[in-house]
Amino acid sequence: MALGRRCRSHRCKIKRRISIAFLTFAAVASNLLAGQVVNVDENGVALRGYDPVAYFTDGRPIKGTQELAESYKGAIYYFASAEYKAQFEREPGKYAPSFGGFCAFAVSRGTTAPTSVDAFQIINGYLVLQNNKDALKR
């Protein structure tokens, strides 16, 4: 197709839609892998206000408090204790969720999905969240 010419055939339109979908997928995936897109609520809070350090230290999600907040890569994280906040400040990359806090299974399929705070794994030292506990079985 020459530059500036319009797609008129059905086949051309399909190719164009596929190309646009592929480019969109590539942009989203590269931004997620680069840590540029983060799953936050309307206030910029990640993990629905749960403490990312608690997943590692307590093995379960624990609600953090707004008074103990820290920003990292465009997201605000809440912490359950000053000790957990200090741990995060020393090594934020260790405790921040992988894939920007989006469902890891969905990201592996080229899309994003919200996560459940109870559906998580620590894989090779990284916090990995899923949409639901069924995804943990895959």
Q: Please write the tens of the pLDDT for every residue from 9-52.
A: 767 667 666 655 555 555 455 444 555 689 999 999 999 999 99
pLDDT tens by residue, 66-90: 999 999 999 999 999 999 999 999 9
Q: Which residue has the higher pLDDT, 134 or 18?
A: 134
Cβ neighbours for 78, distance < 8 A, ≥ 6 positions apart: 45, 47, 49, 50, 51, 63, 64, 65, 66, 68, 69
* CA terminus-to-terminus distance, the chain: 42
Could you say which DSSP state residue 5 is in? P
Average pLDDT estimate for 107-114:
90
Q: What is the pLDDT of residue 133?
A: 87
- Which of the residue ranges 4-13, 68-77, 100-109, 127-136 has the most confident prediction, judged by mean pLDDT? 68-77
Q: What is the pLDDT of residue 22?
A: 55
Q: What is the pLDDT of residue 26?
A: 53
Q: What is the pLDDT of residue 85?
A: 98
Q: Which residues of 83-110 are buried (b: 16+ CB within 10 A; e: fewer)?
A: ebbebbeeeeeebbbbbbbbbbbbbeee
- Radius of gyration from C-alpha coordinates of the chain: 19
* Residue in the block written with tokens 């399909």: 14
Q: What is the pLDDT of residue 65?
A: 98
Average pLDDT estimate for 113-119:
93
Q: How many CB atoms lie within 10 A of CB 116?
A: 16
Does residue 115 surpass a pLDDT of 90? yes
Average pLDDT estimate for 114-135:
93
Q: What is the pTM of this model?
A: 0.73
